[in-house]
Structure 1
């Protein structure tokens, strides 16, 4: 009888999001306090388990040690790119044909050219404008290991090139890395100095607004998408940047960054950065990843972030007794995300 009561208690202390079980309710409360479970987490479409990243969800349904029941259903009705569960094998086939994007970039490369006329809007555009940026690096220093930006490309949400130029690094180049960059010394001889390129891009992104005045919503400043955006060292507010290398749902289970090459193959279904590389290809990949993440259909909440003032006391220590009387579902209902989900840009 006592064993049955203990089993019932452990079952009651089961997290409503990740399904972890705890011996005592106080342990579950502490788990909810630090886990930041929310409707924005990747979720298994079969058992409804919440995961911290898509890598965790991928392991859950594909392997190497998946949940067998979920794996069996996913192998028949699951999309290996967006990890959605479809109604039937036929629906999955139709969906996956659309979900697997092709590169389709060769025609665009032929018309790439150099474009360095960035214009600022005179009025307010409809909705928040989004642009993607990528750069290619050459090597500096005695052994050529210092990354120096030598080429920059900027595209709009429709994958149109709006800026593309070679960049003259501030220190001498000792390794042009031609096999992957395709950059030769003559390309950089009369190129625009790095500081001028940084200023030109920054002004374009701010779109007439002072940097210190830029706000996440309601302004004219543009959202900047990219992978490892620190490389160009732009002075731009972090709240306006969407970095696929630092976005929690796209990171590894160990909270390390995945490469853009891997993310493109795993979530878009095609290969990039094979042979000689072009920044336009990287721009397109990051923009497509951003749009895929932004299009997630999550429940709308008035205050979706844990650090919103209205949520700061949700799991305060002085509420411990009250929290221990809540059900796991009630605690999950007041739990909020600790990162900004890109679906909130929609």
Structure 2
């Protein structure tokens, strides 16, 4: 190990939804056996003094030789620490962090948590994959395997293990081509809107139907992104460059947002200083970001309360986005407009997803020039 002992570094990573400071603490452990620098990082939430105390504590542990041990570090310990760091470094959105946390806590740790990272072999993950496929869809199992590979790859980089045990495991066969997604009929949509009236979901549902935004875009939308005078919503994007876009809105939606902002100001006055300055358009009841699990749980209550809704278990939040796009197309919107409005990677993707709705326009195109081409 190097004779020089750096003091480590403390980096500010902004604030979380509760306006608590986030920090990234980096410690230099010297050199790995291959000569590369052995740097490790720990995420910390709290005051700067608290982060400085944690830095001092970690340096003391390092100097005492208390480094992560491959023989002692369990899968549960490693995956939880890795997720904190992975999120602190900006690799995951808030909703992505919740999704990863759910996979780790409910699907990985209950099966592998007590094993040390070094004990896990490809056969253990293959067995786990087989168990998952008994109750989960192949596409869901694939997402679980992605988390496993990422966490174990980080363990390789941290010199805890030599190779990634998940690399030897094949992905489940996922049927190529998209299953036609569920879209609500206009009659079903009216019933859902009636059920949502007077609830916290009234405005979010109407906004999503008008704009086609993703759930993550809805929950992360700030008032600074909303130009009511210009009738434009500026989305910063949660997935790709294409998802960063501007969406025009109607006068009806402007009126709805103005009423929503007025109601939000009244709620903020009631809470006073307890309401955080998040600037969120659709926050929780206390002004923080609406937790994804609570959001879906409460939305399901609205769906369940909707009478005569066909296959209600299939009416997810994404169904609203799909319904919006379907209605736009059936009312004559072209594929490029729909693609840009949804933030798709390409018009080809939009066409592939909604091809069945564009079929009716073939007849229109086929007859478009009949009057000109018909011989007298």
Fold match, TM over 0.5? Answer: no
Taking structure 2 as the reference length, the TM-score comes to 0.25
More contact order relative to length (CA 8 Å, sep ≥ 6): 1
In terms of fraction of residues, the more helix-rich structure is 2
Taking structure 1 as the reference length, the TM-score comes to 0.26
Name which one, 1 or 2, has greater alpha-carbon Rg.
Answer: 2
